[in-house]
Structure 1
């Protein structure tokens, strides 16, 4: 039974460590995307349909 308490304690420490690492990475801008907005126009595939008949 004591091994269970030790494993629960270690898992809570590991979860807290991952949470701290995640919060730190968000604060320093690790997930900010600077590249995609600059090239988004190159991949724009919304073109007007030239084959569509004009509406009367």
Structure 2
């Protein structure tokens, strides 16, 4: 962050620039360990049976 501020970025610009890599790097590292299918709908969910109860 201090490097960005020293380079002339104001604080409002520097914060998103410093947060983006923090979110991207761990997310990318975790992607290979994620399940192929995140969630599967059951027949009940597909038919909205429980949405009306």
TM-score (norm 1): 0.37
Structure with bigger helix share is: 2
Structure ranking higher on relative contact order (CA contacts 8 Å, 6+ apart): 2
TM-score (norm 2): 0.38
